[in-house]
Structure 1
Amino acid sequence: MKSALFLRSSFSYFWYFGLLGLIIPFLPLFLDGKNFSSVEIGEILAIFTATKIIGPTLWAVLADKTGQQLGIIRLGAFLACAFFTFLFWLNDYWPVVFCLATFSLFWTAILPQLEVMTLNSIRRSAKIYARIRLWGSIGFIFFAVVAGKVIEEFSSEAFTYIGFIILFGLFLSTLLIKQSKIKQSQITKTSSIKGKLFNINFSVFFIAGLLLQLSFGPYYSFFALYLRDLQYPGFAVGILISLGVIAEITIFIYAGKIFKHFSVKNILVFSLITTSFRWFLMGHLGDSMLVMILSQVIHAASFGLYHSASIQFLQRHFDPSQQNRGQAVYIGGVYGIGGAIGAYLAGVLWLNGAGSTTAFDMAMLAAFIGAILALFIKVSDRDKNA
Structure 2
Amino acid sequence: MLPYWRLSAYYFFYFGFVGAFSPYFTLYLQSLQFTAADIAILMSLMQVMRILAPNLWGWLAERVGVPVLIVRLSAVASLAGFGLFFLTTEFAGIFVGMALMAFFWSAALPLIESVTFSHLGDQGHRYASIRVWGSVGFIVAVLGIGHALEDLPITATLWMTALVLAGIVLCAFLVPDAAPPAVQRVPMSLRQVLARAEVRALLGACFFMSAAHGALYVFYSIHLVDNGYGKALVGWMWTLGVVAEIVVFLFMPRLMKRYTLRAMLLVSFTAAVLRFLLIGWGVGSLALLVLAQLLHGATFGAYHAAAIAAINQWFPGKLQSRGQALYGSLSFGAGGMFGGLLSGLTWDAIGSAWTYSLGSAFALAGLLWLIKGWRPVLPSMPAKD
Using the size of structure 2 for normalisation, the TM-score is: 0.89
- Where does 1:245-284 land on structure 2 (aligned, <5 Å)? 245-284=242-281
Q: Percent identity?
A: 28
Q: What amino acid does structure 1 have at the position aligned with 2:368?
A: I
Find the counterpart in structure 1 of residue 365 from structure 2: 369
The alpha-carbon deviation at position 63 of structure 1 amounts to 0.9
Q: Per-residue deviation at 1:102?
A: 2.3
Cα separation, partners in 2 of 1:182 and 1:277, compared to 1, 3 Å: closer
Look up the match of 2:66: 68
C-alpha separation between the residues in 2 aligned to 1:155 and 1:382?
60
- Alpha-carbon spacing, 1:282–1:7, altered in 2? closer, same or farther (3 Å): same
Aligned residues: 379
Q: How big is each residue's C-alpha offset from its partner over 1:45-77, in whole Å with a ceiling of 9 and x where there is no partner?
A: 433202111111111111111111111011111
In the other structure, the counterpart of 2:118 is 120
1:64–1:190 CA contact under 8 A, matched in 2: no
Q: Which runs of 5+ in 2 are unaligned?
A: 381-385
Match of 1:208 among 199, 205, 218: 205
> Amino acid of the residue matched to residue 359 of structure 1?
T
Shift of 1:311: 1.4
Distance in 2 separating the partners of 1:286 and 1:56? 36
Once residues 338 and 5 of structure 2 are traced to their aligned partners in structure 1, the CA distance between those partners, rounded to angstroms, is 36
1:284-309 per-position Cα deviation (integer Å, ceiling 9, x unaligned): 22243322221111000110000111
Q: Partner residue of 1:85?
A: 83
- The AA in structure 2 aligned to 1:196 is V
* 8 Å contact from structure 1 (residues 134, 249) kept in 2: yes
The Cα shift of 1:43 comes to 4.4
Within 2, Cα distance between the matches of 1:76 and 1:102?
A: 10
Rate the CA distance shift 1:214–1:157 in 2: closer, same or farther, 3 A: farther
State how far apart, in whole Å, the 1-side matches of 2:359 and 2:50 are: 21
| CA pair 32-270 structure 1, distance change in 2 beyond 3 A | farther
AA aligned opposite 2:276: W
| Larger RCO (CA within 8 A; separation ≥ 6) | 1
2:174 is paired with a residue of what secondary structure? coil
Q: Distance in 1 between matches of 2:258 and 2:228?
A: 43
Assess if the C-alpha contact under 8 Å between 2:273 and 2:364 holds in 1: yes
Q: Partner residue of 1:143? A: 141
- Cα shift at 1:201: 2.0
- Quote how far apart the aligned CAs of 1:229 are: 3.2
In the other structure, the counterpart of 2:286 is 289
- State the AA in 2 paired with 1:303: F
User: What letter is aligned with 2:236?
Assistant: I
Please show how residues 1-386 of structure 1 align to structure 2 within 5 Å: 1-2=1-2, 5-34=3-32, 41-88=39-86, 90-91=88-89, 93=91, 95-154=93-152, 156-182=154-180, 191-351=188-348, 355-379=351-375, 381=377
CA distance in 2: counterparts of 1:287 and 1:29, whole angstroms: 27
Shift of the alpha carbon at 1:37? 5.6
| Offset at residue 28 of structure 1 (A) | 4.4
Contact 2:84 2:93 survives alignment (8 Å): no
1:153 is displaced (CA, Å) by 4.2
Q: Give the SS at the match of 1:108.
A: helix
Q: Is the 8 A contact 1:283 1:360 kept in 2?
A: yes
Aligned equivalents of 2:221, 2:87: Cα separation in 1: 24
Contact 1:208/1:373, CA 8 A, preserved across alignment = yes
8 Å contact from structure 1 (residues 216, 363) kept in 2: yes
After alignment, is 43-52 or 139-148 more displaced? 43-52
Structure of higher CA gyration radius:
2
Q: 1:314 Cα deviation (Å)?
A: 0.9
Cα contact 2:202–2:370 (8 A) shared by 1 = yes
Task: Provide, for residues 329-359 of structure 1, a one-character-per-residue CA deviation record: whole Å limited to 9, x for no partner.
Answer: 11111111101111211222334x9943333
1:376 aligned counterpart, secondary structure: helix
**1:214–1:193 Cα change, 3 Å:** same
Instruction: Report how far residue 30 of structure 1 moved.
Output: 4.3
The TM-score with structure 1 as length reference comes to 0.88
